[in-house]
Structure 1
Amino acid sequence: MSQEKPKNNVMLIISIMLGYALTYMDKNMISTAIIPLKAELSLTASQSGLLMSMFFIGYTVMQFPSGWLSDKIGPKKVLLISIGTILIATIFFGFVSTLVLLMVIRLISGLGHAGVPTSSTKVVANNIQPKQKMFVQSLILSTSGIGGILAFTLGSSLININWRYAYFGLAILYVVSIIMIFIFFPKESKNPNGEQLKKADKVPISVVFKDKNVFILFAALLFLNIVLYGYLSWLPSLYEANFGFGIKEISIILSTNAILMSVGALSSSFLVNKVFKGNDKRFALISIIVCALACIVFAMTNSLTISIIMMFIFTLSSNAVFVTLFSWPHKLIRQEVIGSSIAIINMGSTIGGFLAPTITGYLITVFGGNYNVAFIAMGISALVSGFVILLVRTKPVTTRKYNYN
């Protein structure tokens, strides 16, 4: 059979990147939208944190089912269902005005978001040459920065007028994403040699649960995402409280920060291969230590200049770690069950994402509106993630033996 044309793969990757960027726009935009929402609904920091956390309950619950379905029925169907669910939730979020309904809708949105990373990773595993997989995965994950830019420019501009307009605008972009998936995704998943993949059930699902790396990466991403989502959730509120910034000023800083998210994501693949000679673990450990120190210094300084510098260093290092951990499965895990494996691994991310705003919101409330203690706690969580990364077994998947019995 003939190999799929490169230009089709380019459009396929662009389609995945758009969907990924919009999910990150959604995740980032809530941290700015929460400012007018707090004022409109008279929310406390704890209530605001709970609203942001509801998203991650749905995300966590649906992680493994969406990964398993990506392996069984194909990633295109899962991605269409997922983004369709997010689209409906986004439209309704712009209409309701009570805390309970907003929480329910964010929960449903999280259910939809769960299918995006698992199905996207499955597409990469099925359609991209092995040597290119880590770079393509890094490229896709770099759209977290693009999503941030969209959230803190287009999203924040609309939020500044009326926060509801931002969600209606996001819904329109989701429609575009669905159309692109219909057009550019292949009807049948194929491997890089152009041969149709056999059913994933030729490798039993038990292989996933016997692989220690799956659960080590799960734990590493859990503690890392406590940092990432705690940081993103409360960064706008910290600048408002500590430096008196309005939404416009916050948007400028966070837009620049979002660009660095993409830089950190894209540079990770290059640095691992060229500078660290394929030693993912060493790169991840150095980056996570830099991330933790930057977060702690950020919390302790009263200088706006130093806080911005530390924020930028944090963003570069934390996103480099995240992309490295999320790309590792392409080297360490069997392609046939990568959807299910990524689902479990990413569940660590979602649990961390759920815990982050809730824990940090509680700390902020307990310490009388002091954000610094919460950010120091995030730095400690980053160091814990580093200790977990030490446990990763880096033996390539091709040389590892599995007991299928």
Structure 2
Amino acid sequence: MGREKPKNNVMLIISIMLGYALTYMDKNMIATAIIPLETELSLNASQSGLLMSMFFIGYTVMQFPSGWLSDKIGPKKVLLISMGTILIATIFFGFVSALVLLMVIRLLAGLGHAGIPTSSTKVVANNIQPKQKMFVQSLILSTSGIGGILAFTLGSTLINMSWRYAYYGLAVLYAVSIIMIFFFFPKQKKNPIGGQEKKEDKVKISVVFKEKNVFALFAALLFLNIVLYGYLSWLPSFYETNFGFDLKAISITLSINAILMSVGALSSSIMVDKVFKGNDKRFALISILVCAIACIVFAMTNSLVMSITMMFIFTLSSNAVFVTLFSWPHKLIRQEVIGSSIAIINMGSTIGGFLSPTITGYLITAFGGNYSVAFIAMGLSAVVCGFVILLVKTKPVSNGEYKFN
């Protein structure tokens, strides 16, 4: 069957990017939708945090099963099932009004979202040449910014009319994405860059659990996502409470911030290759230190200009770190078990995503609606992430990749 034609690879990547963008639109939009939801359902910060966190319980539970299935039955099937589950959850979220039902639906959405990163990474591993993998992975992850832009422009416009309309509109976009995945994902079971996929069966799954780097990256992404999802969850409420922003002002500010998410993601692979000469670890350590400092200054300043400046800086730096850590497995981990490995690594992300809104929501409530302590806690979490990154072991070999220990 040979290699995929370049034009097919382009459509394949575009299909993944659209699906990824919509999942990030979903993750970002809840932070804005929670404002009218709090009013309609009379929720406090702790209840809002719990509602946002339910998504990550489902995400965490399905991480490893979806990764294992991506290795065994193929990423296309996993991706279609995942997107179908999200579509159903999104439609129903717009219909219900009870807090318990909304929490159950967000849990279901999380179950669906779990299959997106594992199956997408598996597709990249199987269909993209080794030298291009990190760039393509960073390109896909840069759609976090596109998803943010969609959330804070299209999503916010619909939320201004009714938060329910926003979720109906999102459901339509998910349906388009499912159609693209069905038509543009490769059908053959051959691995275009290295033989038959069934060779993967010869690599025991126990290999993944013996790899220390998998668990180091798991921990690093856990602490990093406490920062990422903490500030994504509470930025709209922060600017409404501290600076009196309305939804329009919030949407404009966070749309610019979303653009910087993509810039941070896209620049990471370029910076690693051109400036840091392939030293991923040094780049990640410098970026996470900048992120920590910016987050703490953001929490302590009363100046709107300084606040927005620091927000932009920790957006750039945190997303650069995220993409670097999430792309590292293409260098550190065997292709045959990358789906299962990414599942474990991304489980750290989802646990961090679950803990963050809940912990920060509790801190905000405990300190009488003061957001400063919550954002300082996020900055300290970034510092811990830096210490964990030091534990990642990289052993360069002649082809520019790393040994699988």
TM-score of the superposition, structure 1-length normalised?
0.98
d(CA) in 1 for partners of 2:135 and 2:119? 17
Do the aligned partners of 1:226 and 1:381 also contact (CA within 8 Å) in 2?
Answer: yes
Do the aligned partners of 2:394 and 2:403 also contact (CA within 8 Å) in 1?
Answer: no
Residues 1:82 and 2:82 aligned together: yes
Task: State the one-letter code of the partner of 2:362.
Answer: Y
Tell me what 1:302 maps to.
302
Residues 1:260 and 2:252 aligned together: no
User: Could you tell me how far 1:199 is from its partner in structure 2?
Assistant: 4.2
d(CA) in 2 for partners of 1:366 and 1:194? 55
User: Could you tell me how far 1:2 is from its partner in structure 2?
Assistant: 2.9
Root-mean-square deviation over aligned CA pairs: 1.1
d(CA) in 2 for partners of 1:284 and 1:316? 12
- The Cα offsets for residues 147-205 of structure 1, whole Å up to 9 and x where unpaired, read as 00000000000001100000000000000000000110011244343743224221000
Matches within 5 A, 1:1-400: 1-193=1-193, 195-396=195-396, 400=403
d(CA) in 1 for partners of 2:130 and 2:402? 15
Task: State the one-letter code of the partner of 2:55.
Answer: F
**Runs of 4+ in structure 1 over 4 Å off:** 396-399
d(CA) in 2 for partners of 1:319 and 1:192? 30
Q: Which runs of 5+ in 2 are unaligned?
A: none
Task: State the one-letter code of the partner of 1:3.
Answer: R
SS at match of 1:198: helix
d(CA) in 2 for partners of 1:111 and 1:69? 14
- The Cα offsets for residues 8-30 of structure 1, whole Å up to 9 and x where unpaired, read as 00000000000000000000000
d(CA) in 2 for partners of 1:110 and 1:196? 32
Do the aligned partners of 1:127 and 1:189 also contact (CA within 8 Å) in 2?
Answer: no
- The Cα offsets for residues 35-76 of structure 1, whole Å up to 9 and x where unpaired, read as 000000000100000000000000000000000000000000
d(CA) in 2 for partners of 1:399 and 1:100? 47
User: Could you tell me how far 1:328 is from its partner in structure 2?
Assistant: 0.1
- Identity percentage over the alignment? 87
User: Could you tell me how far 1:213 is from its partner in structure 2?
Assistant: 0.2
d(CA) in 2 for partners of 1:150 and 1:156? 8
Given the superposition, is the C-alpha separation of residues 112 and 257 from structure 1 closer, same or farther in structure 2, using an over 3 Å criterion? Answer: same
Do the aligned partners of 1:138 and 1:268 also contact (CA within 8 Å) in 2?
Answer: yes
Q: Which runs of 5+ in 1 are unaligned?
A: none
Do the aligned partners of 1:2 and 1:194 also contact (CA within 8 Å) in 2?
Answer: no
SS at match of 1:20: helix
SS at match of 1:120: helix
Do the aligned partners of 1:59 and 1:114 also contact (CA within 8 Å) in 2?
Answer: yes
Task: State the one-letter code of the partner of 2:68.
Answer: W
d(CA) in 2 for partners of 1:401 and 1:327? 15
Task: State the one-letter code of the partner of 2:94.
Answer: G
User: Could you tell me how far 1:321 is from its partner in structure 2?
Assistant: 0.1
d(CA) in 1 for partners of 2:281 and 2:402? 18
SS at match of 2:395: coil
Do the aligned partners of 2:333 and 2:404 also contact (CA within 8 Å) in 1?
Answer: no
Do the aligned partners of 2:86 and 2:113 also contact (CA within 8 Å) in 1?
Answer: yes
TM-score of the superposition, structure 2-length normalised?
0.98
